[in-house]
């Protein structure tokens, strides 16, 4: 459903070669963090290339509700006049984060060590998702949360009056939880530490350093230990947001499965904690190259060249790579449907608590399109049918999940019969220009 509450049914059909350049929008994770850290710095932070999707705009609205000034200069350029660490004002309305788990979890962290109360809510998808994973560690700082059963939204969070620093071992591999703890640690005295067994995306650590906070990353018994010195003075920054690898994944995968395709997706952030999909695709035999590799604003960046790849092979995806491609499993399963043999994905329990249960949503839709899928609690296997082997012809449910919607639209570009979605509205949360961008490449995707 769109943010306005009307479902947008969509369809994709077998398309000719995809050609041209695909300029995907700014990175969602980095955009959220730029707004939040800008709001916690004193002075003007200038952001270019911000993702203007509904999720990030929810974070911008929340930062205004906490007292920061967020100015839209047009053409994805924003400035944020921050209020300083511990300077958040108490919002006088409920903070509605829409579909965005990153917004609510990071913002809960950012306010948890300031003595204010805030009520958070979201859409039907967000209000089903687990929040105790964040409110439990925030309670260690002295914050108190009162939510619905299972700690779900809507919930009220009361920030700590006299916060104490925390040492916390992540029970699940989650950058949102790690970031919530680090952001809470900003207004606690002394050192806050987060220990993660699996490396999750590290944009918060990188950006905190950029804003002048002391953040050390070390190793203890194979785990990553991140140490933040509390109560830094954050200095405003100029941030050029790289383009989102998780959005690039859709045109890239579309090109791999659509006969005759050859596309360029420029300026994609290739932080190693995010690039797992592209390595996996190459192992499957994808014709995918990094061109013009360079570093921009502290993040590795390259142009991706993707060409039709008729001889894709199913593989066992390295579970150690799961965190670095967690958002990309839905579209990987689409590529797997066009590969020869089975693609085995293990260690992916987190997929069950995303915007939807992504294993269930993809398995149901792929089966309806004629692809055999096996699944367990934390694994699934897609039995590929090879190029030209996927029937399609299904109508799939997107469950308020942008990545499910875009994945099935990609599937339909090479199926024998069109693929239909009940609702493409959620695509606007992360990739508002998906439809014109794909159309310009030659993809036959339409609203019905």
277 vs 441, beta carbon nearer ligand S3P: 277
Q: Which of 287, 327, 328, 401 binds ligand S3P (CB under 6 A)?
A: 327
Q: Decide if residue 176 touches ligand S3P (CB under 6 A).
A: yes
420 vs 429, beta carbon nearer ligand S3P: 429
Task: Candidates 7-15, 173-181, 287-295, 335-343: pick the segment binding ligand S3P (CB under 6 A).
Answer: 173-181
Task: Candidates 172-180, 186-194, 218-226, 308-316: pick the segment binding ligand S3P (CB under 6 A).
Answer: 172-180
Pattern of binders to ligand S3P over 184-203, x per CB under 6 A? -----------------x--
> Residue 116 Cβ, how far from ligand S3P at the closest point, in Å?
23
Q: Which of 127, 174, 407, 420 binds ligand S3P (CB under 6 A)?
A: 174
Residue positions counted in the chain: 448
- Please give the structure tokens belonging to residue 335: 């590529």
Q: Which of residues 272-311 bind ligand S3P (CB under 6 A)?
A: none
Q: What is the CA radius of gyration of the chain?
A: 21
Angle, in degrees to the nearest 10, between helices 203-210 and 28-40: 40
Helix (H, G, I), strand (E, B) or coil at 337: helix
Q: Is 327 a catalytic residue?
A: yes
274 vs 305, beta carbon nearer ligand S3P: 274
> Residue 33 Cβ, how far from ligand S3P at the closest point, in Å?
7
Angle, in degrees to the nearest 10, between helices 358-368 and 329-337: 20
Task: Candidates 175-183, 235-243, 358-366, 386-394: pick the segment binding ligand S3P (CB under 6 A).
Answer: 175-183
Output the CA angle 87-144-352, nearest 5 degrees.
Answer: 105
- Specify whether the backbone of 210 is left (phi greater than 0), alpha (psi in -120 to 50) or beta: alpha
Q: Which of 15, 29, 114, 118 binds ligand S3P (CB under 6 A)?
A: 29
55 vs 287, beta carbon nearer ligand S3P: 55
Among residues 27, 123, 202, 327, which one is catalytic? 327
Distance CA 157, CA 408 (A): 37
Provide the β-strand partners of residue 228.
192, 215
Where are the extended beta strands (E) located within 273-415?
287-296, 299-307, 316-317, 340-346, 372-376, 379-385, 395-396
Q: Decide if residue 364 touches ligand S3P (CB under 6 A).
A: no
CB 435 within 8 A of CB 426: no
Task: Candidates 56-64, 168-176, 298-306, 421-429: pick the segment binding ligand S3P (CB under 6 A).
Answer: 168-176
Where are the extended beta strands (E) located within 322-428?
340-346, 372-376, 379-385, 395-396, 419-421
**DSSP track, 249-280:** HHHHHHHHHSTT-EEEEEEEE--TTT-HHHHH
Query: Footprint of ligand S3P on this chain (CB under 6 A)?
Result: 29, 102, 174-176, 179, 201, 326-327, 350
Which residues have a catalytic role annotated? Answer: 327
């Amino acid at each position: 459903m769109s943010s306005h509450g009307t479902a947008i049914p969509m369809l994709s059909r077998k398309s000719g070669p995809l050609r041209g350049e695909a300029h995907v929008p700014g990175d969602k994770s980095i955009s959220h963090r730029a707004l939040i850290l800008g709001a916690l710095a004193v002075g003007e932070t200038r952001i270019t290339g911000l993702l203007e999707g509904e999720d990030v705009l929810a974070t911008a609205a929340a930062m205004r509700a906490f007292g920061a000034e967020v100015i839209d200069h047009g053409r994805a350029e924003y400035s944020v006049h921050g209020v300083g660490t511990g300077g958040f004002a108490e919002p006088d309305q409920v903070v509605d984060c829409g579909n965005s788990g990153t917004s609510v979890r990071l913002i809960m962290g950012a306010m948890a060590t300031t003595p204010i109360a805030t009520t958070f809510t979201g859409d039907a998808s967000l209000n089903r998702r687990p929040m105790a994973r964040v409110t439990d560690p925030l309670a260690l700082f002295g914050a108190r949360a009162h939510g619905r059963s299972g700690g779900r939204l809507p919930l009220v969070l009361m920030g700590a009056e006299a916060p104490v620093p925390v040492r916390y071992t992540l029970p699940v591999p989650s950058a949102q939880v790690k970031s919530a703890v680090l952001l809470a640690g900003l207004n606690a005295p002394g050192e806050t530490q987060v220990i993660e067994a699996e490396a999750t995306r590290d944009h918060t650590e990188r950006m905190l350093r950029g804003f002048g906070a002391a953040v050390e990353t070390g190793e203890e018994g194979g785990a990553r230990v991140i140490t933040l010195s509390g109560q830094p003075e954050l200095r405003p920054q100029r941030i050029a947001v790289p383009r989102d690898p998780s959005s690039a994944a859709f045109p890239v995968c579309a090109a791999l499965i659509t006969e005759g395709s050859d596309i360029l997706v420029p300026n994609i952030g290739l932080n190693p904690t995010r690039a797992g999909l592209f390595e996996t695709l190459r192992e499957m035999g994808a014709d995918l190259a990094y061109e013009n590799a360079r570093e921009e604003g502290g993040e590795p960046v390259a142009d991706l060249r993707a060409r039709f790849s008729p001889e894709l092979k199913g593989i066992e995806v390295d579970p150690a790579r799961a965190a670095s491609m967690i958002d990309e499993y839905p579209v990987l399963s689409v590529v797997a449907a066009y590969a020869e043999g089975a693609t085995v994905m293990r260690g992916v329990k987190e997929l069950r608590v995303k915007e939807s249960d992504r294993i269930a949503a993809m398995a149901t839709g792929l089966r309806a399109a004629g692809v055999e899928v096996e699944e367990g609690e934390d694994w699934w296997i897609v039995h590929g049918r090879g190029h030209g082997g996927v029937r399609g012809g299904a109508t799939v449910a997107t469950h308020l999940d942008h990545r499910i919607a875009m994945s099935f639209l990609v599937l339909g570009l090479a199926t024998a019969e069109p693929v239909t979605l009940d609702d493409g509205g959620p695509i606007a949360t992360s990739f508002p220009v998906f439809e014109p961008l794909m159309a310009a490449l030659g993809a036959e995707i339409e609203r019905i």
